[in-house]
Amino acid sequence: MSSALASEARRPEEDEVEPGSGLEAEGAPTGQAENFIEAEEPFDDGDSAVGDDDGASYTTSLKSVVTDYIEENKRRYHAARGSTYFLPNDEAELDRLDLFHHCLTLRAGGKLHLAPIDPTPERILDLGTGTGIWAIEMGDKYPDTRVLGNDISAVQPEFVPPNVSFEIDDFELPWAYSSKFDLIHGRYLAGSVRNWPRLIQQAYKFLKPGGYIEMQDFDMHFYTTHGEFKPGCPLDKWARAVASGVSAFGMDPHPGPQLKGWMQDAGFVAVKDNLLPMPLGPWPKDRRLKEVGTLDLMQFLDGLEGISLRAFTHTHKWEPEEVKVFLALVRREMLNVKMQVQHNYHIVYGQKPWDAKD
């Protein structure tokens, strides 16, 4: 988009698409009948936590050495992979990740993992741990287990259960752990991984025979089965533009549906893909899904700028102000319960064979 357009602060119209803007239509997402979530009828959001459209540490030793951050568009980013990891790592983003943790755990039926692991695991690894909230809760659930979380950003809390620790590491580099794990977990790494098959092969190598890998991740296409969401609407264009921006950084924006195949290719057995459609907004009839949808909406509203800024400004060359204007349209559609928008969350696990050699 031109800067002249930006200075007029004109909102992009639904079917006004400029080549290279990142908003070109792709194939329309299809409504998937098997993913049907029953909507509340008539819709009542009187008890919803969402009222308006504002949506508005480290292991001690590491705190001092990992301060390698940069600022862009008033958001803080990790610098070492600054040109490729698209999300910020500031307080606003960390709050969003913690909120999303509650949403995702609720969607998983209140469970932190679905893999049927040994009830007394020795060692668990959490890849790209973020705020470390999953690792900390796993440490509480399995007090005799050593839980290790790694991340490129040292943003984990200082005071954690004694069996939980964090390290700064790039999980795409060769791993150097001296002992193997019972469970290797990675959640919401969409947009963080360049080479998924290699990551999953490394996990295979560093699991004990009989150990499990569990990945929980997304297909970020939005769709509806019975609502008013239409391919090509601002929300659809936004999601596709974020995905193409992330792809341009060399990262896969939709790992969820591919996880099962990657695990099978790496040698894992009994691989199970649990496809969990996630409602966006408080429109479902089912109370638990209503809560999931409300939390998902809150994290999207909180995260809209953080999720969008790098993808739109780096890849699609928009001005930050243009992005903000466009996000107002996206925000409005996210809040429209008649659209009955959803997206797919996959919880996929597999087991390393007991007779595996390495």
Ligand X SMILES: C[S@@+](CC[C@H](N)C(=O)[O-])C[C@H]1O[C@@H](n2cnc3c(N)ncnc32)[C@H](O)[C@@H]1O
Residue with smaller CB distance to ligand X, 127 or 329: 127
Q: Is 167 exposed, middle or buried (0-12, 13-18, 19+ CB in 10 A)?
A: middle
Q: What is the largest CA-CA distance in the chain?
A: 66
Residue with smaller CB distance to ligand X, 206 or 229: 206
SS3 label, residue 187: strand
Residue with smaller CB distance to ligand X, 21 or 150: 150
Residue with smaller CB distance to ligand X, 105 or 340: 105
The whole-angstrom separation of Cα 328 and Cα 306 is 14
Q: Are strands 123-127 and 181-187 parallel, antiparallel or unpaired?
A: parallel
To the nearest whole angstrom, how small is the minimum distance from the Cβ of residue 223 to ligand X? 22
What are the angstrom distances between the C-alpha of 79 and each of 70, 103, 166? 6, 29, 19
To the nearest whole angstrom, how small is the minimum distance from the Cβ of residue 27 to ligand X? 26
DSSP letter at 21 equals: S
To the nearest whole angstrom, how small is the minimum distance from the Cβ of residue 129 to ligand X? 6
Residue with smaller CB distance to ligand X, 38 or 140: 140
To the nearest whole angstrom, how small is the minimum distance from the Cβ of residue 74 to ligand X? 19
Residue with smaller CB distance to ligand X, 150 or 225: 150
Binding site for ligand X (CB under 6 A): 78, 85, 87, 97, 101, 128-130, 134, 150-153, 170-172, 187-189, 192
Residues 38-71 as b or e (16 or more Cβ within 10 Å = b): ebbeebebeebebeeeebeebbeebeeebeebee
To the nearest whole angstrom, how small is the minimum distance from the Cβ of residue 278 to ligand X? 14
SS3 label, residue 343: strand
For 17-110, where are the alpha helices, taking DSSP H only? 60-63, 91-107
Residue nearest to ligand X (CB): 130
